[in-house]
Amino acid sequence: TPHVNLGTSSLSTSVLSGTNFTLSMWINLVGGIDGGTNYTILNNEVYQASGLILRVDGSAAFIYLRTNTSGAKVSSQTANNVISNTTGWTQLVVIKEGTAVNFYLDGTLLTNAASGSHTNAVAATNPLSIGAATSSGSIYYQAFKGDVANLQIYNRVLSQAEIKQNYNAQKGRFE
């Protein structure tokens, strides 16, 4: 399974378990949604116990973030079919601000279909990986079917203006 393993670092143990963070990336889902497989974008989850997972749901084509705190999982997701008709590169931004999560595609705020009350995720012991989920720290599955580029992780919340500015500044590289 093609993926990038970033190991365990302060990035995965402090920033992604913090109160506020922003994940910004460009994704290119190749071949579309197949009706069943989940496509992991970013993961350091110890299944439903600690860490987080960001993925595209393969059955309903929504974007999903799950954080885990002491065995309690909390999920937020976009409406169905936000990603199914996407062709080519798309900018995805996920913001966790306090207990709320918001999703942006191509600089535009999406409406959440479900939004849990996210507390700070328990720092994960699994390595942070791009493009696949992990099990037992080394078995990779639910690979992202496509490309992930220009992943940026911030230890703060980007404003809507900053998200739009970044989208406009970078979109020429991905057209």
pLDDT in tens, 70-103: 667 888 888 888 886 667 899 999 998 888 889 9
Q: What is the pLDDT of residue 52?
A: 84
Q: What is the pTM of this model?
A: 0.89
Please give the pLDDT value at position 65: 86
pLDDT score at 24: 95
pLDDT in the model for residue 166? 97
If DSSP states are collapsed to H, E and C, what string results for the chain? CCCEEEECCHHHHHHCCCCEEEEEEEEEECCCCCCCCCEEEEECCECCCEEEEEEECCCCCCEEEEEEECCEEEEEEECCCCCCCCCCCEEEEEEEECCEEEEEECCEECCEEEECCCCCCCCCCCCEEECCEEECCCEEECCCCEEEEEEEEECCCCCHHHHHHHHHHHHHHHC
The residues of the chain scoring below 50 in pLDDT are none
